Every structure is written in C-alpha cells, then in structure tokens.
Amino acid sequence: MIRRMGSALLAATAVASVVGVLRQRREARAVRAGTLPRASAAAALPPRARQAPWAERLAGWVPDRPSTTAGRVAAAVWSAPLTAVGLALAALAGRKPRWDAELGCFVVRGAGGPSRVALRLVGASANTVGLVVLSPGTDPDPVLLAHEAIHARQAERLGPLLLPAYAWLSARYGYRDNPLERAARLGAVRARDARNAREN
C-alpha cells in the first residue's frame, strides 16, 4: 500500500514537472512575442493572479546562509543529494565548479552540455541544483548570481524536498509566478540594494 502510494506520488510529481516545463516554455514564447514582461533576476513583478496566503508568505521567504559552522555543515548534508546532481551536470557541462565564498555555493561559468540545452529549452539564463549554480555565460550578471544563490539557500532548507515542491509550484503557478522564483527575485533585489549601499 505504502509502495503504491509512493509510486503514485512520484508519477504525479513527474507529471507536475512536465506541466511546469511546458508552462515555462509557453511563458518564454510570450516574452519573445512581447505579450508578457520578462521576469529578470530582480524584476519586481506582482503575480498575474491572486495566490493563496501560504504562497504569498513563501514568495517573501528569503533565507540567509546558516550563520554557524554546524548549521552550514547540516545544510550541506541535507542538500547533498541535489548538490551531487548539480556537480554531475557540471561535469557533463565540461566545466569545473568553483566555490564562491560570497554566494555560498559553487558556480559553473560557461556551462555547456545538457544544462545549456535545458536552459535554452525553457528560456532561462541560469539554474541552480543544490548548491551548484550553472550558467552558460562566462561572465554572468551579479544580480543573476544573487538570484540563483537564493535557490541554493532554499536547497539548504528544503533539501531533496525542493525538487518536488518546485515542480508542483511550477505546475500550479507557472515559472514567472512560482513563489520560490518570486522569493529569489526578492532576494536578488535585496542583494543588489545592499551592494549599491556599500559602494555609495
């Protein structure tokens, strides 16, 4: 009984992932056609439709990096299954991941292979898997990296649960209005504003 329920949940999550990708592709086409504003890394875009209160709270969730060594180790262990996939994608991309101490994650610049194909398919500039940011650009925008670092923080908190949560939210709300994406855009805005304040 439990095995059947688990299999059904996995199958439903796989379907949700496909629906989410199809919605993201449709949004990318609408952006290219000029009928939908581009959801850049730090765009302050309200959702196109009203979201549930819990989704609104999730959209405002911008976790910080764990402040203690023990917390960082625990977060790295909890997110390790996703990070392992991210490191495998980096290997397939033909690039060596570099640890970015400021962002608190690995960054792969100039990523090729399956990662570049997947990003082109959905019209994205970068993606994060666990604590690994994959960017096809060799010099990605710091605001984009700040956005992706929030996804790394989400992975630290949600661990392997991030993947099904993201899939279900994308199926329900689409990419642009996914509360986890809205939170990453909010985090990128805060990081950009903090950097500007330091420089001025």
The predicted-structure confidence for 151-177, as pLDDT tens digits, reads as follows 999 999 999 999 999 999 999 999 999
Residue 2 has pLDDT above 90, yes or no: no
178 has a pLDDT exceeding 80: yes
Residue 100's DSSP bridge partners are 105
Residue found under tokens 């939908």: 36
Give pLDDT tens digits for 36-60: 888 888 888 889 999 999 999 999 9
Instruction: Considering only CA atoms, give the Rg of the chain.
Output: 17
Confidence label for 7 from pLDDT (cuts 50, 70 and 90): confident
For the chain, give the percent of residues with pLDDT over 70. 100
Tokens at 177, concatenated: 């209005």
Q: Are 81 and 162 in contact (CB under 8 A)?
A: no
Sheet of 98-100, strands arranged across: 98-100, 105-109, 132-135, 127-129
Average of per-residue pLDDT across 107-128: 90
Helix (H) / strand (E) element for 105: namely strand 105-109
Over residues 6-19, the mean pLDDT reads 86
Identify whether the C-beta of residue 37 lies closer than 8 Å to the C-beta of residue 31: yes
For the stretch 54-100, pLDDT in tens is 999 999 999 999 999 999 999 999 999 999 999 999 999 889 999 99
- Which element (helix H / strand E) includes 180? helix 179-199
Nearest one of 50, 99, 85 to 160, comparing CA atoms? 85
pTM for this model (two decimals): 0.93
Contact criterion met (CB below 8 Å) for 135 and 144: yes
What would the two tokens of residue 139 be? 């010099």
Per-residue confidence (pLDDT) for residue 123, from 0 to 100: 83
Residue 141 above 80 pLDDT?
Answer: yes
What average pLDDT is seen over the chain? 92
